[in-house]
Amino acid sequence: MFRTAQGRKRLFFALELPDTLKQALLARPLPLQRGQAVPAGHLHLTIRFLGDVDPANEQKLLEFCRQFRLASSIPLLPDKFDCFPTRSRARSFHLRLKPVPELLELRDCLNGDWDRLSSNGEGRPFRPHITLCRMRRVPTAEEFRQLDDWAAKQRLPAAPATVLTLFHSFFRDNRLVHAPLATVKTRGTD
């Protein structure tokens, strides 16, 4: 669990997954006994993690969302399955996405002024990915073989994302909740 400073909210911007990609990811359960699959409602592509944000800056973010529109859909192109931080120290399993120009432009747009608004100046490189599972322990060689077999059988579609959401992440009853605070849609969609 994480702790949020008094009076602040843990916020992040994420692209919501198109149904076709989400359904394909959920079609076959992961063969991992040492991990916990990410719930279907939490599958997303984090574009910008903001960290603990105070109420005044939360209002600035909400105003930004009211005025901002995605110029076009963002292509989500599956690349490969991988682990963070590495296979030998795996703590999560994810689908890496190709860093297409539209995705990088959106990331750059959301990086701009937000560093000074939040407690989290993200200094790490952007590696677009969808977390599928959090691991309690590093998988054994046999479990990795099963996971690699599972990954080889996946046929994931390229799909356009059309909704960017500002989420509030918190725990309620020992469960992680991602509550949407505001959504931004592609121009021409409601």
pLDDT of residue 183: 94
**C-alpha of 132 from chain center:** 10
Task: Tell me the per-residue pLDDT of 168-178, one tens digit each, with 9 for 90 and over.
Answer: 998 888 888 89
Which domains are seen in the chain, by residue range? Answer: 9-185 (3.90.1140.10)
Residue 30 has pLDDT above 80, yes or no: yes
How far is 62 from 167, CA to CA, in rounded Å?
Answer: 11
The predicted structure's pLDDT at residue 115: 57
The 10s digit of each residue's pLDDT in 148-158 is 999 999 999 99
Alpha carbon of residue 74 to chain centroid: 14
The rounded distance, in Å, linking the Cα atoms of 101 and 128 is 12
Q: What local confidence, expressed as pLDDT, does residue 33 receive?
A: 79
CB 45 within 8 A of CB 14: yes
Q: What is the pLDDT of residues 5-25, one digit of tens each?
A: 667 899 999 999 999 999 999
